[in-house]
């Protein structure tokens, strides 16, 4: 089967750094994607890691270790607008999504 | 680009009624996905199409659900008859390739309530 595990909730302070972890068990693995979803909205693509290492896009970075079947999303300089759910997804065809991590940014 | 378009945005119906959800993917995208999202089960893939052909419908919960893609610019998801447990947000997404390693573009979703 295919499964992805991530924490259900994380709370962090505005301006801080938060890391959301994701472990996966999938067949035919191609890479790990991350999506953001605000309440009442649709998931939107954040990043994709096909190779091991860190990918940086502005305040957001994503990391992948294929040997450990592990990845994380790193959010820096947290802002209130970053409060949302974050999903990791295994880069198979089709994508398999984790259950999501609800991030609450507090003042 | 208008993005993925879904209609209706909200649907309230009574148990036993037929429900049809509609999706227009982004022009030029050749993969289309239907997802269902609930608090309990998260984001579940129901079915996906590649070049208008259904590739994997193993996520379709039961025979009450059916999906079609008669052309590259239109798809429907039908539930007949609907049941209260079908209440969820249904998303349509499209991507320019298989979607496994490319970005998927989600529509705004249809919030379905079955009474």
pLDDT in tens, A9-53: 999 999 999 999 999 987 777 789 999 999 999 999 999 998 999
Query: B4: how many CB neighbours lie within 10 A of its CB?
Result: 23
Rounded-to-integer distance, Cα B14 and Cα B113, Å = 8
CA angle in degrees (0–180, nearest 5) for B86-B37-A89: 145
Instruction: Using CB atoms, pick whichever of A42, A91, A99 lies closest to residue B100.
Output: A91
The DSSP result for A2-59, as a single string, is -EEE--SEEEEETT--EEEEEEEE-SS---EEEEEE-TTS--EEEEEESSSEEEEETT
pLDDT-derived band at A1 (thresholds 50, 70, 90) equals: low
Residue B85, SS3 per DSSP: helix
Rounded-to-integer distance, Cα A58 and Cα A83, Å = 17
Confirm or reject contact between B34 and chain A (CB < 8 A): no
Partner-chain contact A100 B42, CB within 8 Å: yes
**Region B14-40: what's the mean pLDDT?**
95
Confirm or reject contact between B43 and chain A (CB < 8 A): yes
pLDDT in tens, A64-107: 999 999 999 999 999 999 999 999 998 666 788 999 999 999 99
Instruction: Using CB atoms, pick whichever of B42, B45, B93 lies closest to residue A99.
Output: B42
Mean pLDDT of chain B: 92
Phi, psi of B107 (to 5 degrees): -75, 175
pLDDT in tens, B31-84: 999 999 999 889 999 999 999 999 888 889 889 999 999 999 999 999 999 999
User: What pLDDT, on a 0 to 100 scale, did the predictor assign at position B62?
Assistant: 84
Confirm or reject contact between A15 and chain B (CB < 8 A): no
Q: Of the spans A78-92, B4-18, B56-70, B93-107, which averages the highest pLDDT?
A: B4-18
């Amino acid at each position: 089967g295919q499964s992805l595990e991530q924490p259900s909730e994380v709370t962090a302070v505005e301006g801080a750094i938060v890391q959301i972890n994701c472990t996966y068990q999938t067949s035919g693995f191609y890479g790990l994607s991350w999506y953001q979803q605000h309440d009442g909205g649709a998931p939107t693509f954040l990043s994709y890691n096909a190779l091991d290492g860190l990918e940086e896009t502005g305040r957001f970075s994503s990391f992948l270790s294929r040997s450990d079947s592990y990845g994380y999303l790193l959010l820096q300089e947290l802002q209130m607008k970053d409060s949302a759910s974050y999903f990791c997804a295994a880069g198979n065809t089709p994508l398999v999504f984790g259950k999501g991590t609800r991030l609450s940014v507090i003042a | 680009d208008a993005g993925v378009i879904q209609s209706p945005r909200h649907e309230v119906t009574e148990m036993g009624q037929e429900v049809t959800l509609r999706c227009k993917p982004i022009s030029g995208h050749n993969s289309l996905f239907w997802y269902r999202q609930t608090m309990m089960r998260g984001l579940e893939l129901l079915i996906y199409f590649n070049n208008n052909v259904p590739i994997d419908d193993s996520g379709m919960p039961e025979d009450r659900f059916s999906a079609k893609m008669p052309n590259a610019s239109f798809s429907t998801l039908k539930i007949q008859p609907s049941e209260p447990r079908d209440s969820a947000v249904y998303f349509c997404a499209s991507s320019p390739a298989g979607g496994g390693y490319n970005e998927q573009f989600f529509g705004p979703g249809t919030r379905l309530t079955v009474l």
